[in-house]
Amino acid sequence: MADDVVRKVVGYLRQIEKLAEKGDLDGVLLEARLALRLCNAPSSGEAAPE
């Protein structure tokens, strides 16, 4: 199970790299949020205030 999650996150990171090279920041943000959600980590916009 953990290996599958790591593979998916690496896939998201590769996609983020491609989108960043193209300058597609909206795509980068979307892919980053998907990767964070997969790891059960909130994105900065979803984080609870301290």
State yes or no: pLDDT of 48 exceeds 70.
no
CA distances from 38 to 8, 12, 35, 50 (A): 8, 10, 5, 23
pLDDT in tens, 10-27: 999 999 999 999 999 999
Tokens 């301290």 sit at which residue?
Answer: 50
State yes or no: pLDDT of 30 exceeds 70.
yes
CA distances from 34 to 12, 24, 40, 50 (A): 8, 16, 10, 23
Distance, CA of 19 to chain centre? 12
